Amino acid sequence: MTAHLAPVVRDALLPTTHSWLEKPPLEPFIDGAFRAARSEDRIAVVDPGSGLTVTEFTAASAQDVEDAVSAARTAFDDGRWSELDPEIREEKLRRLADLLEADADTVTQLEALDTGKPLAEARLDIREAVAVLRYYAGWATKVEGSVIPAPRRFYATATREPIGVCAAITPWNYPLPILMYKLAPALACGNTFVAKPSEQTVLSTAYFAQLCAAAGIPDGVVNIVPGAGATGAALTSTPGIDKIAFTGSTRTGQAVMRAAADTLTKVTLELGGKSPQLVFADADLDAAIDGVMGGIWTNAGQVCIAGSRLIIDRRIHDDFVAELLNRTRQLTLGHGLASATTLGPLISSTQRDRVTSLLEQAATENADIQTASALPDADGFFVSPTVVTGVRPGHTIEREEVFGPVLSVLAFDGEDEALRLANSSAYGLASSVWSKDASRVHRVARRLQAGTVWVNTYGVFHPTLPFGGVKASGFGRELGSAAVDHYTELKTTVIDL
Ligand code: ADP
């Protein structure tokens, strides 16, 4: 099938990206090979910047999922990966990272085309994916156990062993980095893997499957089953999986956890957020404005950590919001592959309509809605960056995760009220404090209910930094050494001396 590409895409694509798109391997990747999916369920790959269907693929069926899990099971049980010397696993994962880095330009273009995000953001995503792979490659040779001070008659150790078959269900906003948060520690620790990418963004994951084969990852160690909710549901209920790592909406996370209860499969869940950015009058306001903007306009607000609630000292509210709108007007809304674009479209018409309807609801609740730029003269699922002031606790726009370029602003009088507003959310993923007062920063950071608190910055991710939520934002931590605990199980061995 010839890819249907908008002129802006056709002009921007490298020959390598273009030729890959002519015949993308979007079949399930099972036991080291792409195999035709056994279902009739066709899914469109849509360019969110133009609305055009680029290509299509067939969703993996429950039978395909069973085959993928069985391939991963066999690959785990026969030790072709877990029994390798750790330095060999490290070497192969490093090779995988090198291959991804070598193809970064192509993968960046695929990710920008598939997600709609600007190229500069997609480039950072691929860099992050490479960095996460390299970081966990190093862990392959560093997972250690301990000798336990049991009664002297015994020699007792606690060693970390791989869990077995690990599954991942990933979302469409950061397809490759979020896959790496799960796959890289799983493989480093000796597990085998089955991943289901979001049906809305399958391209980079398919590309990555090819690289696994090229890097010499043994057949069956990494398996991919592209598809939508039905494929995900099949994955969560197929026996033979030892752990599921899910990133997505809170509602789907609940369904994943319910399904996992039947097979007693371990789960970690990284879910939604409604993260507050607390700006105090004593902050470096210039830096705070840029930080708040980065926190909400990045990926057009389709970020689980989006700093979507600006909670600001009433005394600086008006000036801050005016300057924030000024700077937001400088953003260029457009197709992700157009070089001037700094803010892309939303992932789908459904998502655009949901955001629009939340804004309509906010208007009926008497909030004040200010859009910062006109929509581009193009098809595609665009929403103008929007600041909603006059928001009060209980407003729909204050409670619901929007997943779009919409910033809700709440004013506070005093630190206690700021914290009350911040913590009133059902979610607890991320947060930030902007202030130059060191004591205040510590006081507030300690009381914020969130997996991450950024101080005088926002959205800092690094392979070393554990990431995850509290409350309705889920549980379990990805990245850093914390993930190693989730992808290994302790074994206690007691020897009678
Ligand atoms: P979003 O609203 O961000 O698309 P979802 O939670 O619906 O979030 O999707 C996240 C991932 O979960 C996607 O890969 C999607 O296909 C998958 N998914 C959707 N429904 C289910 C389900 N019932 N069981 C397992 N995975 C699912």
Same domain for 484 and 453:
no
Q: Which residues pair with 455 in a beta bridge?
A: 433
* CA 270–ligand 1 middle distance (angstroms): 12
Is residue 129 assigned to a domain? yes
Ligand 1 pocket, residue 175 CB under 6 Å: no
Of ligand 1's listed atoms, the one at least distance from the Cα of 173 is 3
Please check whether residue 228 lies inside any domain of the structure: yes
Q: Does the CB atom of residue 233 touch ligand 1 within 6 A?
A: yes
CB 20 within 8 A of CB 106: yes
Same domain, residue pair 87 and 155: yes
Q: What is the CATH number of the domain that holds 413?
A: 3.40.309.10
In a domain, 1, yes or no: no
Tell whether ligand 1 has an atom less than 6 A from the beta carbon of residue 249: yes
429 and 404, same domain (yes or no) = yes
What contacts 24+ positions apart, CB below 8 Å, involve 383-387? 383/300, 383/345, 383/346, 383/352, 383/355, 383/356, 384/333, 385/296, 385/297, 385/300, 385/328, 385/331, 385/333, 385/343, 386/359, 387/321, 387/324, 387/325, 387/328
The ligand 1 atom at the shortest distance from the C-alpha of residue 251 is 6
Please compute the mean of the pLDDT values over residues 420-437 and round it to a whole number: 98
User: 33-90 pLDDT, tens per residue?
Assistant: 999 999 999 999 999 999 999 999 999 999 999 999 999 999 999 999 999 999 999 9
Looking at ligand 1, which atom is closest to the CA of residue 249?
A: 6
232 lines ligand 1 (CB under 6 A): yes
Assess whether the C-beta atom of 255 lies below 6 angstroms from ligand 1.
yes
Whether the CB of 228 sits within 6 Å of ligand 1:
yes
468 lies in some domain: no
Same-domain pairing of 225 and 297: no
Predicted pLDDT of residue 457: 98
pLDDT beyond 90 at 373: no
Residue with the nearest Cα to atom 17 of ligand 1? 229
Joined together, the tokens standing for residue 391 give 């928001």
Q: How far is the CA of 171 from the centre of ligand 1 (A)?
A: 7
User: Which helix (H) or strand (E) covers residue 475, if one does?
Assistant: strand 474-475
Classify residue 68 as exposed, middle or buried by CB count within 10 Å of its CB (0-12, 13-18, 19+). buried
Residues 209 and 82 both lie in one domain: yes
Pocket flag, ligand 1, residue 265 (CB < 6 Å): no
**Distance from Cα 25 to the centre of ligand 1, integer Å:** 22
* Same domain flag for 409 and 486: no
Q: Confidence class of residue 2 from pLDDT cuts 50, 70 and 90?
A: confident
* 497 Cα: distance to centroid of ligand 1 (angstroms): 52
Is residue 250 within 6 Å of ligand 1 at its C-beta? no
Q: What is the pLDDT of residues 451-481, one digit of tens each?
A: 999 999 999 999 999 999 999 999 999 999 9
Instruction: Report the distance separating Cα 412 and Cα 62, nearest Å.
Output: 51
**CA 426 / ligand 1 centre spacing (Å):** 20
* Joined tokens for residue 268: 């970690």
Of 176, 204, 252, the one to substitute when testing ligand 1's pocket (max ligand atoms within 8 A of C-beta) is 252
| Residue of the CA atom closest to atom 13 of ligand 1 | 198
pLDDT (mean) for 4-24: 96
Does residue 146 fall inside a structural domain?
A: yes
Residue 202: is its pLDDT beyond 70? yes
Residue 71 domain flag = yes
Given a contact cutoff of 8 angstroms between Cβ atoms, the answer to whether 485 and 187 are in contact is: no
Q: Is the pLDDT of residue 378 over 90?
A: no
Q: Quick check: is 2 in a domain?
A: no
Q: How far is the CA of 272 from the centre of ligand 1 (A)?
A: 12
Q: What is the pLDDT of residue 322?
A: 98
- Per the structure, the count of domains in the chain is 2
Q: Which atom of ligand 1 is nearest to the CA of 227?
A: 16
Q: What is the pLDDT of residues 391-412, one digit of tens each?
A: 999 999 999 999 999 999 999 9
For 58, the enclosing helix (H) or strand (E) is: strand 53-58
* Spatial strand order in the sheet of 276-279: 368-371, 386-389, 406-412, 309-313, 276-279, 430-434, 452-455
CA 414, chain centre distance (Å)? 34
Question: What does the pLDDT look like over 309-345, one tens digit per residue?
Answer: 999 999 999 999 999 999 999 999 999 999 999 999 9
Is 361 in the same domain as 238?
no
Check whether residue 232 and residue 327 sit in a common domain.
no
In the reported structure, the alpha carbon of residue 22 is separated from the centroid of ligand 1 by a whole-number distance in angstroms of: 27
Instruction: Return the active site residues.
Output: 270, 304
Mean pLDDT, residues 118-125 taken together: 98
CATH of the domain at 172: 3.40.605.10
Give the ligand 1 atom nearest the CA of 247: 10
Q: Are residues 387 and 258 in the same domain?
A: no
CA distance 68 to 472: 31
Q: Which domain holds residue 481?
A: 7-271+474-493
173 and 42 in a common domain: yes
Nearest CA to ligand 1 atom 25: 232
Cα–Cα distance, 248 to 270 (Å, whole number): 7
What confidence tier does 269 reach under pLDDT thresholds 50, 70, 90?
very high
User: What mean pLDDT comes out for the span 282-306?
Assistant: 98
Separation of 118 CA from ligand 1 center, angstroms?
24
pLDDT over 80 at 1, yes or no: no
Residue having the nearest C-alpha atom to atom 11 of ligand 1: 171
Per-residue confidence (pLDDT) for residue 302, from 0 to 100: 98
Output the residue whose Cα is nearest ligand 1's atom 21.
229
- Could you tell me if 243 and 308 lie in one domain? no
Contact 302 CB / ligand 1 (< 6 Å):
no
In a domain, 467, yes or no: no
DSSP 8-state code for residue 301: G
244 and 362 belong to one structural domain: no
At residue 181, φ and ψ (nearest 5 deg) are: -55, -30
Confidence class for position 374, pLDDT limits 50, 70, 90: confident
Per-residue model confidence as pLDDT tens digits over 220-258: 999 999 999 999 999 999 999 999 999 999 999 999 999
Ligand 1 pocket check: which of 43, 45, 169, 246 to mutate, most ligand atoms within 8 Å of Cβ? 169
**195 closest CA partner among 147, 139, 158, 243:** 243
pLDDT, tens digit (0-9, with 9 covering 90-100), for 350-363: 999 999 999 999 99
pLDDT number for residue 372? 85
Q: Is 198 in the pocket of ligand 1 (CB under 6 A)?
A: yes
DSSP 8-state secondary structure symbol assigned to residue 464? T
